[in-house]
């Protein structure tokens, strides 16, 4: 529903000719809503194939013969049963790249694997939320989106290699990769990740959300130069080095919290950004979109967020998502 379509939409935005293969009646995400489907399937064409039939398999072979790649987002048993692997399709085109996007790997079985389930299973949910509250999931499909990006990268890397073959990308592996420094700290130093109030960073202090006189401010001090600029503006003394700030975390956070309470989040952002200090008032998505109109594009009559990849000399032509066709 999301990881595979997002991967191929990114490629389509970059100029790839993407044909979406759908079953009779259309892919399931069409039933979620027009805006949902458009957000993942602009710039594509579509064809309905019954891959369980000889005719559908014949038409699949014809597509494979003239394509650089096939990307599939199904469970492993379905991918094999429908002949959507390199081993099966190489007879039509030995240069084709076949990408399998699954929950746990092409050889990892068919256990249910949706975004939130995988995030719960790899430790992301346990790391998110208030320490005294329940585990929390982010409000968007971070595992699916991240996996889609990795799938697109793997597809392009294999094409660039000049040889066909199988690429295997799983939600589980991608999310473990997203937890990179937390995993490394545990595997090498025995440091178990922990939730901190206001989403505080494990290594940098202060780097988290702070309440202000009105709203919340994200402040991300990653080196002593940032701290010096912030401390001067906020009227805070001491804690000149990151080592001191990490060692005396609670004291630093108390001082910073008290200083930030004297002004609003929006005002602090206006004061700190010209100084080069990473800071942003917490906004809702509607507020952020209204303040950043340049990220919105028109695809047919759909207003969508445009491609995040900007290539010099290339401007995507945003077309609406495909209508369902036989």
pLDDT tens readout for residues 94-127: 999 999 999 999 999 999 899 999 999 999 999 9
The answer to pTM > 0.75 is: yes
Average pLDDT over residues 24-45: 95
**113: buried, middle or exposed (CB in 10 Å: 19+, 13-18, 0-12)?**
buried
Average pLDDT over residues 289-302: 96
Domains of the chain and CATH, by start = 2-180 (3.40.50.10540), 198-282 (3.30.1540.10)
3-state secondary structure of 169: strand
Which residue among the candidates 115, 144, 168, 173 is catalytic per the annotation?
144
pLDDT tens readout for residues 214-246: 999 999 999 999 999 999 999 999 999 999 999
How far is it, in rounded angstroms, from Cα 8 to Cα 23?
A: 17
Q: If we measure between CA atoms, which residue out of 150, 43, 40 comes closest to residue 102?
A: 150
How far is it, in rounded angstroms, from Cα 157 to Cα 155?
A: 6
User: Using an 8 Å Cβ cutoff, are 84 and 72 in contact?
Assistant: yes
| 301 among known catalytic residues | no
Average pLDDT of the residues of the chain? 97
How far is it, in rounded angstroms, from Cα 199 to Cα 152?
A: 30
Report the 3 state secondary structure along 288-316.
HHHHCHHHEEEECCEEEECCCCCCCCCCC
- pLDDT > 90? residue 1: no
> Tokens representing 292?
């950043």
How far is it, in rounded angstroms, from Cα 78 to Cα 8?
A: 20
- Helix (H) / strand (E) element for 117: namely helix 115-122
pLDDT of 112: 87
pLDDT of 326: 60
pLDDT of 175: 98
pLDDT confidence bin for 7, thresholds 50/70/90: very high
List CB contacts of 157: < 8 A, sequence separation 6 or more.
none
pLDDT tens readout for residues 154-205: 999 999 999 999 999 999 999 999 999 999 999 999 999 999 999 999 999 9
User: Using an 8 Å Cβ cutoff, are 217 and 279 in contact?
Assistant: yes
pLDDT of 325: 78
User: Using an 8 Å Cβ cutoff, are 250 and 238 in contact?
Assistant: no
Q: What percent of the chain has pLDDT over 90?
A: 98
Average pLDDT over residues 296-314: 97
For 217, how many CA atoms within 13 A lie in the half-sphere containing its CB?
A: 30
Beta strands 296-299 and 165-170, pairing class: unpaired
């Amino acid at each position: 529903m999301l990881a595979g379509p997002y991967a191929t939409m990114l490629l389509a935005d970059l100029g790839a000719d993407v044909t979406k293969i759908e079953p009779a009646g259309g892919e399931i995400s069409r039933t979620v809503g027009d805006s949902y489907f458009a957000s993942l399937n602009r710039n594509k064409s579509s064809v309905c194939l019954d891959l369980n039939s000889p005719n559908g398999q014949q038409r699949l072979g014809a597509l494979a013969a003239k394509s650089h790649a096939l990307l599939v987002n199904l469970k492993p048993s379905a991918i094999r049963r429908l002949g959507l692997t390199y081993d099966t399709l190489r007879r039509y085109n030995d240069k084709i790249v076949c990408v399998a996007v699954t929950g746990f790997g092409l050889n990892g079985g068919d256990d249910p694997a949706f975004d939130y389930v995988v995030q719960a299973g790899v430790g992301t949910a346990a790391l998110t939320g208030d320490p005294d509250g329940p585990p929390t999931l982010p409000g968007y499909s971070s595992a699916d989106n991240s996996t889609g990006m990795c799938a697109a990268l793997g597809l392009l890397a294999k094409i660039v290699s000049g040889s066909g073959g199988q690429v295997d990308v799983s939600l589980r592996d991608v999310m473990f990769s997203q937890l990179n420094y937390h995993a490394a700290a545990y595997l090498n130093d025995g440091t178990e990740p922990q939730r901190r109030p206001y989403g505080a960073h494990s290594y940098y202090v202060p780097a988290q959300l702070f309440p202000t006189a009105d709203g919340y401010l994200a402040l991300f001090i990653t080196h002593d130069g940032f701290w010096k600029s912030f401390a001067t503006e906020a009227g805070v003394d001491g804690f000149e080095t990151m080592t001191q700030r990490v060692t005396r975390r609670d004291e630093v956070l108390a001082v910073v919290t008290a200083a930030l309470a004297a002004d609003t989040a929006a005002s602090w952002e206006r004061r700190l950004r010209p100084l080069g200090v990473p800071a942003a008032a917490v906004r809702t998505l509607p507020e952020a979109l209204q303040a950043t109109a340049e990220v919105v594009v028109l695809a047919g009559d759909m207003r969508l967020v445009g491609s995040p990849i900007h290539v010099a000399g290339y401007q995507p032509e945003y077309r609406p998502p495909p209508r369902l066709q036989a």
